[in-house]
Amino acid sequence: MKNVYKITGFTEKDENFNKLLNYAFFFLKFRPRSSKEIEMYLNKKIKNRHWSQDDIKKVIQHLEGLDLINDKNFVKWFVEQRILLKPKSKYALRQELLKHGIDKEIIEEYFSSNLMDEEKLAEKILHERWHRYKNLDKRKRFEKSASFLMRRGFNFEIVKKTITELSNKK
């Protein structure tokens, strides 16, 4: 088997690198990923194969060089997708980004440069669900609306203000 590597010019290390790179390309095919997500995925792949951690670091550096992994771009993409598909508060978004392995500095940098109007966001998502609650008595409507918004990470002040505004409109 080693003769094959000598003939093609690849060493066994190069072959391991290429296999890990292909795994990473496959993982990136579905959506953008953070560097931590790629690292965790590749760690699962090398678990039973006795490949080295150095190969994973090389793959991540290579993908960063190709700009296929960029945590700042990932944060931007993630927040845009979240606001579009399943809106949540800044707090909830921060927590999710931390779970994806993004540094706190990158998260804070993004949110300081991109302002998010949480009150408008809370009103928008509650407005979409308001028809379910409008026929309930006032107390029950408040409880259900508040628990829905709080599960999305909004603080009680925003929740209370949003529910009051929607109650007055309808």
pLDDT tens-digit series, residues 93-139: 999 999 999 999 999 999 999 988 999 999 999 999 988 988 889 99
- For 21-63, give the DSSP string: HHHHHHHHTTS---HHHHHHHHHHHHTTTT--HHHHHHHHHHH
User: How long, in residues, is the chain?
Assistant: 170
Asked if 106 and 145 sit in the same domain, the reply is no
The residue type of 4 is: V
Q: In the prediction, which pLDDT does 11 show? A: 55
How far is Cα 40 from Cα 80, in angstroms, rounded to an integer? 24
Asked if 11 and 50 sit in the same domain, the reply is yes
Q: Which domain holds residue 106?
A: 71-113
pTM over 0.75: yes
Asked if 10 and 48 sit in the same domain, the reply is yes
Asked if 52 and 7 sit in the same domain, the reply is yes
Asked if 162 and 122 sit in the same domain, the reply is yes
Q: Identify whether the C-beta of residue 166 lies closer than 8 Å to the C-beta of residue 127.
A: yes
Q: In the prediction, which pLDDT does 1 show? A: 39
Asked if 23 and 75 sit in the same domain, the reply is no
Give the model confidence (pLDDT) of 49-92 as tens digits: 777 888 899 999 999 999 999 999 999 999 999 999 999 999 99
Check pLDDT > 70 for residue 167.
Answer: yes
Question: Quick one: which of 15, 19, 21 has its CA closest to 59?
Answer: 21
The structural domain count of the chain equals 3
Asked if 123 and 94 sit in the same domain, the reply is no
Q: Which of 50, 65, 80 is the last residue of a domain?
A: 65
How far is Cα 103 from Cα 126, in angstroms, rounded to an integer? 31
Asked if 11 and 40 sit in the same domain, the reply is yes
Asked if 46 and 88 sit in the same domain, the reply is no
How far is Cα 74 from Cα 97, in angstroms, rounded to an integer? 9
How far is Cα 140 from Cα 153, in angstroms, rounded to an integer? 20
Asked if 9 and 60 sit in the same domain, the reply is yes
Asked if 164 and 127 sit in the same domain, the reply is yes
Q: Around Cβ 10, how many Cβ atoms within 10 Å? A: 14
Q: In the prediction, which pLDDT does 6 show? A: 36
